[in-house]
Structure formats: structure tokens, C-alpha cells
Amino acid sequence: MNYRHAYHAGNFADCMKHVLLVLLVQALRRKPAPFSILDTHAGIGRYDLSGDSASRTGEWRSGIGRLLDSATTPDGPLAPYLNLVRQAGAPAFYPGSPQIAAMMLRPQDRLVCCELHPEDSRTLRALFAGNSQVSVHARDGYAALGALLPPRDARRGLVLIDPPFEQPDEFQRLAAGIVTAHRRFANGIVAAWYPIKHRAPVRAFHDSLRDSGLRDIIAVDLTLRPPLDPSRLNGCGMLVAGPPFGFAEQALPAMRALTHLSPDGTGEAAITRIVEE
């Protein structure tokens, strides 16, 4: 309950997560049938980059700030994401995953957001006031996986799990959440963000998914520096269960474009198949 994403909005990890979110929703939009998105740790949905929280850390300046300053190719791998960010008001404001997802919905699609923090859930509800396609629940995101899946109004969709990693057992909780989401929503894509400080916890997380019995899982990793210092956020990853056709081939060049955010040029991007189809 202490985590407030406003301090970190628009940093490199947000950029990475949201680039991949756009690719996943684009894949869902390729078919006319309706889809549903469940965002389990939604935050407030939109962040004022000139506000006190974002200004105090300035993390956005080395993330979305650099991307907007350096973006010169309108048709590059980051273009769809950057176009949405600009439409949402950047660089004054940065859209969180709920706003990005909502901007990509078609009339037949739905978005369900969960946010446990009372003040943040009220802010999120106000953001989507009057939007009948978006519902906001003030509840625990992990509990929502059992309560809100499968969705009532669509047979396909996306589950985005983006926990704050405040608890020491967060990797274990995340692995269990992925298994729950996939088993309750077998036709859905499950995407889960995780931090990379050093390799050991990430390896153990991947191993736990290999042993889970789930099939067709890939991991997309972006590091800005070698993950050797466990006290620093050296990179981040997204595990995707049931990735759509062609997703990995689209994700890799996009992640390589983000390696330019590395302050010393040691950034790396990798896609690993954790479990075969």
C-alpha cells in the first residue's frame, strides 16, 4: 500500500512495459471478435510529469523524455507507442497502462482495472467517469484473477499483471498469479512485468514457470546495464504466456530500440522461450 507509481511514471521500465502492451493489444485488434483486458495493478492511469512526485525523481527524463526528444522515424518499431503517448498529452502527461489500453479499445471491447490503494482507485475511477467500456475495482489485483476471470463479455483478451514488488515473495506470488490467470482464462494472453536487479531471482522465477505445467511462455528482457548490483533496477522483463502470432518478432526490434536508453551503451535486449508451445 506504500507504493506510488507517480514517482516512476515514464521511466525506462514504463516505456518497456507499454511498448509491449501496445503490441499485444494491436494483435488482439487484428480479429473482429471482442476482447477484454484485465489490468490488475492499474495505478491512477495518467501522470502529471510536472507534478511534485515525478519532478522529485525525474526518472521520466531518461525514459520517455529521451524517446520523445530523439524520435525522428515516424515508422520505426516504437512509433505506435509514441503516437499514443503524444495523443495522451506527453510530455506534460504520461499515460499509464489503463489509459493506453483504453485508447486502443474498439466499441465492442472492454477494460477492467483493479487498484487497491484507496486514493489511487478514486483517481482512476474519476479518469474514466462516463466511459462505459472501462470499469474500476478497488480491490487486490491477485485476488481479482480468481474473481474476475474468465471475463463475462469476451472469450479472448489480455491479463496484465504489474505488481509493485514491495514484498520479498513477489516473484512467487507473481508466478502463482500467472498460473491462476492462465488456467481460468485459457484463451487469453497473460503478460507479467518483473524487475531485473540481478539474475538469480529472475532465473528462479522462470524455473518455477517451467515446472508449472503451462505451455507456450516467452520472456522479453531489457537491461540498461549488466544486472550485477542487486540494489539497483538494472533492467526489467515481461513474461508472456500464450503470446500472439508474430509477437516475439515484433518485440525484439522494439526492445533493441529501447537499449539506447542505456546511460553507458551497455543495454541489451533478449527474448527467451521459457516453455515450448
**Cα–Cα dist 253/251, whole Å:** 6
- Residue found under cell 508449472: 212
User: Do the beta carbons of residue 233 and residue 198 sit within 8 Å?
Assistant: no
276 backbone dihedrals φ, ψ, rounded to 5°? -70, 165
**Cα–Cα dist 223/259, whole Å:** 7
Q: How far are the Cα atoms of 147, 210, 262 from residue 235, in angstroms, in the given order? A: 32, 22, 10
Q: Annotate 114-124 with b (16+ C-beta within 10 A) or e (fewer).
A: bbbbeebbebb
- Residue found under cell 483478451: 157
Q: Looking at 14, 39, 162, 221, which residue is catalytic?
A: 162
162 in active site: yes
Grouping H, G, I as helix, E, B as strand and the rest as coil, residue 30 is: coil
- DSSP-assigned letters across all residues of 182-243: HHH-TTEEEEEEEEESSHHHHHHHHHHHHTS---SEEEEEEESS-S--TTS--EEEEEEESP
Grouping H, G, I as helix, E, B as strand and the rest as coil, residue 55 is: helix
Q: Which residues are catalytic?
A: 162
